[in-house]
Structure 1
Amino acid sequence: MCNITSKEEELAIAITIISLLSGFAIVLYGSGQTINALSNGNPSIADNYTSLLSAGATLLLVGLTGWYVYETRKLRIEEQQRQQEEHEQQVNNIRATFKAEISGVENLDNISNKFTADEIARMRRIVPTAMYENNCDQLGMLNECEVEAIVDYYGTAQNIEDLSYSYRTHSDDEEEKNQNREEIMKKVCELSCYQAHALDKLNNENHSN
């Protein structure tokens, strides 16, 4: 529920309640007196209560209007809070999605020690990228630092794939293959650093820009 506690709003609520109660009491009293006067055959006396009834009706109208404004504002704030909570949940979900895929690759820093450039080049994909490919359009929900770290990680992974493809398709050009080998190993080392950096940003409790 919406918690409205400012002194101004508390005062407005009090005035609204007083207006409603006062208006109702005045209308009730004036109506009773008017009916009583008419019943006793004193229309002139009944006329004296017309202004009182008008004042009571005005107070009732003011009270009802104030209550309507208060309830409308409360509902609007509750809706804003609900939308904010939904947005935060969506952000947390997309953050968790990227974190799960990036952290799912273990011992990335040892790949260059375990495999040669030729073996790495023959791998179809050095790290999974499905979550990124399916959710890259939602990157804008994250903060600037997180986006930059994620793009660096997946961008480097894509560079390795491009170099590996070039390596496999230019088997006759030994000079180019040697250049690709060196570049592949360099990018693999960078990828490990970008992985650690991305996870650091995604795990940071302070996700503000």
Structure 2
Amino acid sequence: MIYVVLFIFALISVSIATISKSNSDNKKLTDSKSDQNKWIVENNLNPTVDFSYNNLLDRSNVRFMVDEKSRNIIVSEGHIIDNEAVTSKPVLISFDNILGCEIREDSAVTGGVGRALVGGALAGDAGAIVGVLTAKKQIHSFEIAFLTNNIQKPQFVITLIGSFGSKGCPKNGLIYTNAVDFSNRVVATIKAIIAQKENMKVVR
């Protein structure tokens, strides 16, 4: 009986420690937004679209913003390294430079907008909902690639999922489903930007 009690106590202790670590990481990633906001103000930007994705297992955060006045996409990534939040310098992509985006699961394109996908899932700017083309139960990487007309840097890639080891990330879990939701919002936004650009060409 004493062993059962000790086992249950150990499980409770591990659960409490895990929850405490997750809460601490979440706060650090949230607090890192203050550095991003400072950079945004210093560069006279005013995002009208702003949403984030947190991956507490990878201890990372991705933030996607759009400043309609300056016509820029703003992308920022944050990571917890040695228990300290580290935020990369936000990347600006002009509306004029954006060609589209691709959603990649384990290096395979599973969604996006702006160019044809394998199997005819996407043609031209029609768009595609991510997360529906693959039947695997786990993945090891999930990325969004922003495609641009910059010859020196034709794509900018952000990683949403990437540190799950040999077992992979289950596709029925919150980490994956939240990544899909975030990516769908990114795809919809990029699609709207491309449509707006096309409309401007017609008006001209």
When the two structures are superposed, what TM-score results if normalisation uses the length of structure 2?
A: 0.30
> Could you say which structure has the larger radius of gyration?
1
Q: Which structure carries more strand by proportion?
A: 2
Higher relative CO (Cα under 8 Å, sequence separation at least 6) belongs to 1
When the two structures are superposed, what TM-score results if normalisation uses the length of structure 1?
A: 0.29
Q: Which structure carries more helix by proportion?
A: 1
